[in-house]
Amino acid sequence: MGTVALHEWRRLLATGTGVGIRIGGNDLDVVAARVRPSGVAVLGHIRIASYRERPAVDWGAEYADFLRQLGLSHMAATALLPRDEVVVRPLWLPGVSDRELASAIHYQIDAVHPYGEEEVRYTWARLGRTPAVLVGIARQSTIERYADLFTEAGIKLAALTFSAAVLYSAVRLFPGVPAEGFVTVVSGEDTIEVYGESPSRPIYSALLELPSERAAALAAAELRLAPGVAPARASALLPFPKKSPGGFDPETQALAYATALTAACPRLALGANLLPPERRSASSPAVFAPTAALASALLVLAVALAAQARIQERRHLELVQAEIRRLEPRAAQVAALARTAERLRKRVWLLDDFRRRTQKDLDALNELTRLIEPPAWLNALELTRESASLSGEAEQAAALLKTLDASPLFRNSEFVIPIARSGSMELFRIRTAREVTGP
């Protein structure tokens, strides 16, 4: 059993229940979702209409009744600010360590928002292990206004965040983010919001007053995506719910759904929270007991599986080593037999060579008899395995070298002593190499 991949650990940790609220111009979209490693279930959804025109206590009671029916009255919600009330800026900070990141962002914050001297509140989160940092900025008065409004309605808030943060987190809740990048259009009540990612630009978020097709094309160009790329449906990027109540549409309610997913798994999401810490509420710790128990059981199971894998590997290694020890004597015998067979093969070849040597010497003698024709004659002949030395007389001794080298049995013929004349004959002594083959 191999090690568990990072995305598999993320899937195991994807456990929790959350409530997401999308703050619109006139309405509130509320979605409650439960996340498990096996998938997502939408527990319920509601639209609270005309919340700006109604008393906060009125629509707060409607929200409380919705949670009570789902058994989630203890839950603190995550609210999504309207896109036009948040400035979203991706910053590229290569070489800045996590310890120095807060100071580097604080140093630049005044230069990246249009609010001038107004007091602002900002939050940031590093995008994975890249040098890119996502920054969200809003007026302090805006944050206080919404915090007071939800407090008056009796709604507990754990976070005030923005769309780029929840979309980035929600699409990564389970594996499946397109590596080549994507762009998607999320329509609000009266706005067109475009979100996208690409290898050249880690995140893009903008509110555009354009038709959706034109907005998507402009975003694709900013992201350096291929020309003509079709915008992805938000519902195709987010985890599709295995279970949902009637009337729920993950496409038209994508932002509220994504907010609920990040509320359910805050540890797997970007920690982009504009709500001041002193105004944040937390869900009752007791409700997390089943989740904690399940997470503990999963952790114990993962540790047990890892330990089992190591035990199995150790047992397999012991079995292999035992088999090696059992077969070592046989392997030694086989190696000894191979060495013996090699020695015997060499001996057989040596005996065959001795048997063939007599025939080779006779062939050489016959060849010399044929080559040295009368009146030439030999008075001495010495044959070894590699050479032949011959002495004698001939009318033209110089021609004998060429004659001998022309034979397939001899080569590199040479005179050992200079040619001497005796009457009408020439005395010679020649040494020539024999063509001998071996094993």
Q: Are residues 248 and 387 in the same domain?
A: no
The CA-based diameter of the chain, rounded to the nearest angstrom, is 149
Q: What is the pLDDT of residue 76?
A: 95
Q: Are residues 145 and 259 in the same domain?
A: yes
Asked if residue 209 belongs to a domain, the reply is no
Q: What is the DSSP string of 330-387?
A: HHHHHHHHHHHHHHHHHHHHHHHHHHHHHHHHHHHHHHHHHHS-TT-EEEEEEE-SSE
Task: Tell me the one-letter amino acid at 427.
Answer: L
Sign (positive or negative) of CA dihedral 145, 150, 152, 158: negative
Pairing of strands 16-23, 28-36: antiparallel
Asked if residue 337 belongs to a domain, the reply is no
Asked if residue 130 belongs to a domain, the reply is yes
Query: Is there a contact between 262 and 18 (Cβ–Cβ < 8 Å)?
Result: yes
Asked if residue 146 belongs to a domain, the reply is yes
Q: Residue 261 is encoded by which pair of tokens?
A: 């997913």
Q: What is the pLDDT of residue 289?
A: 59
Distance CA 32, CA 45 (A): 6
Asked if residue 71 belongs to a domain, the reply is yes
pLDDT tens, 21-57?
999 989 999 999 999 988 999 999 999 999 999 999 9
Q: How many residues does the chain have?
A: 439
Pairing of strands 157-161, 77-80: parallel
Q: Are residues 389 and 268 in the same domain?
A: no
Q: Are residues 122 and 239 in the same domain?
A: yes
Inform me whether the pLDDT recorded for 287 exceeds 70: no
Q: Are residues 279 and 371 in the same domain?
A: no
Q: Are residues 245 and 108 in the same domain?
A: yes
The CATH number of the domain where 245 resides is what?
3.30.420.380
Q: Are residues 265 and 391 in the same domain?
A: no
Where is the domain boundary, 262, 283, 304?
283
**What percent of the chain has pLDDT above 70?**
93
Distance CA 274, CA 15 (A): 24
Among the listed ranges 117-131, 199-213, 275-289, which one has the minimum average pLDDT value? 275-289
Q: What is the pLDDT of residue 8?
A: 61
Inform me whether the pLDDT recorded for 189 exceeds 60: no
Quote the domain boundaries for residue 392: 364-434
Q: What is the SS3 assignment for 71?
A: coil
Of 175, 232, 226, 237, the residue nearest 200 (C-alpha): 226
The CATH number of the domain where 411 resides is what?
3.30.1360.100
Asked if residue 186 belongs to a domain, the reply is no
Q: Are residues 238 and 379 in the same domain?
A: no
Q: What's the domain count of the chain?
A: 2
Contacts of 279 (CB under 8 A, 6+ apart): 147, 151, 157
How does the average pLDDT of the chain come out, rounded?
Answer: 88
Q: Are residues 167 and 267 in the same domain?
A: yes
Q: Are residues 276 and 381 in the same domain?
A: no
Of 184, 180, 181, 182, the residue nearest 194 (C-alpha): 184
Query: Is there a contact between 192 and 208 (Cβ–Cβ < 8 Å)?
Result: yes
Distance CA 98, CA 341 (A): 70
pLDDT tens, 46-101?
999 999 999 999 999 999 999 999 999 999 999 999 999 999 999 999 988 889 99
Inform me whether the pLDDT recorded for 134 exceeds 90: yes
pLDDT category at 424 given cuts 50, 70, 90 is confident
Asked if residue 341 belongs to a domain, the reply is no
Partnered with residue 421 across adjacent β-strands are 426
pLDDT tens, 221-280?
999 998 888 899 988 999 999 999 999 999 989 999 999 999 999 988 998 999 999 999
Q: What is the pLDDT of residue 7?
A: 55
Q: Residue 39 is encoded by which pair of tokens?
A: 């998938």
Distance CA 96, CA 106 (A): 13
127-158: burial string, b at 16+ Cβ within 10 Å, e else: beeeebbbbbbbbeebbeebbebbeebebbbb
Asked if residue 81 belongs to a domain, the reply is yes
